[in-house]
Structure formats: C-alpha cells, structure tokens
Structure 1
Amino acid sequence: MSKKSATVVLAHGAWAAEASWGKVVNLLQSDGIKTVTFPLPLSSLADDVAALDGVLAKVDGPVVLVGHAYAGAVIAATQSAKVRALVYVAGLAPDEGETVAEVFNRYEHDNKAPQLAPGADGLIRLPQDAFSSAFAQHASPEEQQVLAATQPPISPACITVPVGRPRWKDLPSWYLLAGHDHMIPAQTQRFMAERMQARISVHPVDHVPSISAPELVQQLIVDAVQQIKG
C-alpha cells in the first residue's frame, strides 16, 4: 500500500466492544493497511459522533470509516472531510429525519431476536443467552462468553434522535449483509443497503462477522480502500 492509502477507522456498535474488531485489525495490518479502533461512549448519538470526530482529527490523510450495527448511524453523521468511503457491517443507516430505532424496527424481527428494554440504570443490555442464540451464534462458546461479559450497553438517547443528512448520500458505500442475523433482519439490511446504493456483499453470517467471519469483513474493507486509493 502506498503512503496515500486510506487509514481504516473502525467503530463498534452496541453490545460488542472495541475489541470485537481484533481479528479484522490483524488481517488488515497484515495487508499493510493502517487501522484505528476506539471506544464509543454509547451515551447519545451526539456524544458518539464527537468521539469519532476526535479520532479523525488525529488521522493523517484519507479515511475509510467502518461501522458495525448502531455505529452505521455514527459514521454517517461525521462531517469530517477526511472520510472518503463508508463500510457497513450489518450496519444501521437511518435517512435524514429518521431515528435508528425506526429503521431498526422497519421489518418484523424473527423469534430469536431478544426483547430490548432499558434496565434500572436506563441503559439497554442484552440478556446473556442472546449472545449464543441471536447476536453471535456462529462464534465459539468462549467468544460468546467474552462478548456477554464485556458488552457495552447503549442509551436510548443514541437511537431515538432523528439524524441529519447522512454522508452515504455523498460518499461511496459498501455493505456486508449478514444473512443469518437475528438482531437486524436481512430484509431491513437489504432495504438500507439498496437505499444508499451501496456495493452489497451477502453472506450467511451472524450479527458479528468481525468475530465469526473476519476474512469476509477484511475483504470488503480492502475493496473500499483499493477503490479510493490515491
């Protein structure tokens, strides 16, 4: 890769922390691609975009932004001129005036989808058994246990605020459609991906392919990096 190649910045979603990108980072770095991960506070959409903007301010050169699940809304909200492409990994992509919750619930979820509601502290967590049944059913039992133990909860403030004009209206986008996802229905993913005219890659993977099928995620990101190279 040349010095002009993009840096890949990876944003995690709810319930799968920064470390969930570990396998993908290793693969990308083996390709000579610079990568950056960071934690999202998941306290509000504005807070999460501010955290992303703080990371982008420190990156030199063009950026390919990658967002998993909820973070799809975050990567589309930054106004940084460094961003050259967006990559969605089973990502949520609300349109202007739409909330994350609205697009998440656009089509009916299947019977394996967990019931989501805030706890006593006002934050939304996944039940432990959801990691093996709906969230990361293709991951190993050990990986499922780590995900359950380290899950970052999300505030309703992240998903109930209408978004502004998303960057996918102006930037090229890629979408990994997770066909065996029990968190975001495949029909919902396809609707969003087609609406933003993304380059769609469909695979029979669970909601967290960064853990269960990292090579597929790597391939999609590499394609985006190569398309904007130079």
Structure 2
Amino acid sequence: MAKVSNILFVHGAWANSSAWEKVLPLIGAAGLTGTAVSLSLTSLADDVATVKRAIALIDGPLLLVGHSYGGSVITEAGSDPKVAGLVYVAAFAPDVGESAGSLGAGGPPTRLLEVVRPDEHHFFKLTREGVDEVFAQDLTATERAMIFATQNPLAGAALGGEVTAPAWKEKPSWYLLASEDHTIHPELQKKMAARIGATTVTVEASHVAMLSQPDAVAKLIVQAAA
C-alpha cells in the first residue's frame, strides 16, 4: 500500500463526529489530514451513503477508520477505489451476510443489552449506568456526562444491516483491540481481527478507546498510513 495522507473517521453507535476530537489533532501533528463524518444511525445503507459522499470529496487515497458500529460502515463503504486500507477501533468487522447485531449476538455476552432503552420507533439510547459502567468506564465523570447528554440514538435497523461486499477481503486492515471493553467483548474483537488478517495492537481501554487512549489510536493510524 502506498503512503496516504488522508484519513476519514467514522464514529459508532450513540456517538457523533466529536468522538474523534482527541485523535484528530494528533494525526494532524503527524502531517495527516483528518475528516470526521456524522452518521444518521438510521440504517447501514444510509450511513454507507454518507461515507461514500465524504470519500468523493477527498482528493487522493485515504484510510477509513471506524469505531464500533462504524466498523460495519467502513467494511461496506471501503470497496471504493480511493480507499487504501481500513483501521478498526474496537469495531465490528462483518463478513458477507453478517451485521453488527449478529456478530454481537454470536459472541461472548456483555452487559450492553441490559443498559439500552428503546423508544416507540425502535431507536435505542444508553442509560446513564450504561455510559458509566459499560460504554466509557475509564473516562472522567465530566466526559461520561457529556457522552450521555449528547448521544445520538441508534436505530435497531442499523445494527441489523447486513454487509454485502466486505472491503477487508481486498484491502489491508489494522485493528485496535480494547482489552477492557464491556460493549464488544474483547474475545469477539480478537476473533474478528484474526479473521480479517489485521495487524493488531491491544490497549487497556474501554469501548471508547479513541477517547481514553487517543495516543495509541493515533499511533496505529499513523503506522497504517505509512
């Protein structure tokens, strides 16, 4: 893979583009140009379309970086010829016919289902307990309160969106495994990283590793870009 200088960041469930606010300055200091999209979290198809529009506006090759559910999005959107590689951050990496939801259900159990609440339209939000104990337990109380207050509800349909053309089968991949993740079990992360043949690093972090361990996340991205 040739060296790239453009990085496109894709957030996960219950988040927005600010999930990458600590990583963006670090990759900028390394000479890379970062762009962070904001997903609707309404369906996999909608979110893939958002990423493809962002890819079209970037000149030259790029890396896609996805967190959590965003891993499903970059897996499907990454077939674009501009995409040189994929970086997964505690993220789902589905194969054909798989979804974030099916992978999560098939892996070792976590407490996630205990700490999400649906509304009448089948959109789900995290409870405060979920943010504090399952999603972001290694962040400060102030940071956890901000995540709870600004979370973007996730449609059940998005979690169920099945991948049709996994880009990791054709593009090189990297995986940051969060060893203290209570949302996507670390053993499931390990299994997915091995299946896609990713260059893998492990950090002691909660599910939101890009916020609790931004230096490690940025380091992996810089290595992948080189």
- Fold match by TM threshold 0.5: yes
Partners of 1:91 and 1:123 lie apart in 2 by 20
Written as runs of structure 1 = structure 2, the 5 A alignment for 1:140-179 is 140-179=140-179
> Contact 1:113 / 1:182 at 8 angstroms: preserved in 2?
no
Map of 1:82-121 to 2, 5 A cutoff? 82-111=82-111, 114-121=114-121
C-alpha distance in 1, partners of 2:133/2:58? 38
Amino acid at match of 1:13: G
Q: How does 1:9-24 map to 2 (within 5 A)?
A: 9-24=8-23
Counterpart contact for 1:139–1:212, Cα < 8 Å = yes
Give, in whole Å, the separation in 2 of the partners of 1:109 and 1:69.
Answer: 16
Displacement of 1:15 in angstroms is 1.3
Letter in 2 for 1:201: V
Show CA shifts across 1:197-226 (max 9, x none).
101101111000111110010011001001
Which of the pair is proportionally richer in helix?
A: 2
Amino acid at match of 1:28: I
Q: Deviations over 1:78-110 (max 9, x none)?
A: 131100000000000111011221101222324
Q: Is the 8 A contact 1:113 1:134 kept in 2?
A: no
Describe the SS at the equivalent of 1:188: helix
Amino acid at match of 1:18: S
Q: Report how far residue 112 of structure 1 moved.
A: 7.2
Partner letter of residue 22 of structure 1? E
State the TM-score, normalized to the length of structure 2. 0.95
Counterpart of 2:75 in structure 1 is 76
Query: 2:75–2:163: 8 Å Cα contact kept in structure 1?
Result: no
Partner of 1:211: 211
SS of residue matched to 1:146: helix
Range with greater deviation from structure 2 (113-122 or 146-155): 113-122
Unaligned runs of 5+ in 2: none
Which is strand-richer, 1 or 2? 2
CA–CA separation in structure 2 for the residues paired with 1:29 and 1:136: 25
- Contact conserved, 1:65 with 1:87, CA < 8 A, in 2? yes
What is the root-mean-square deviation of aligned Cα atoms in Å? 1.4
Where 1:46 maps in the other structure, the secondary structure is helix
Take 2:116 and 2:187, find their aligned partners in 1: how far apart are those partners?
Answer: 20
Flag structure 1 segments of 5+ consecutive residues without an equivalent.
none
**Aligned partners of 1:222, 1:216: CA distance in 2, in Å?**
10
CA distance in 1, matches of 2:19, 2:111: 25
* Aligned-partner Cα distance in 2 for 1:86–1:111: 28
Match of 1:30 in 2: 29
Distance in 2 of aligned mates of 1:106 and 1:202: 22
CA distance in 2, matches of 1:149, 1:11: 20
Give, as a single letter, the amino acid of the residue that structure 1 aligns with 2:207.
H
Structure 1 residue 162 displacement after superposition = 2.2
Displacement of 1:40: 0.4
Tell me if structure 1 keeps the 8 A contact 2:22–2:211: yes
Letter in 2 for 1:87: V
What count of residue pairs does the alignment treat as equivalent? Answer: 223
**What percent of counterpart residues are identical?**
37
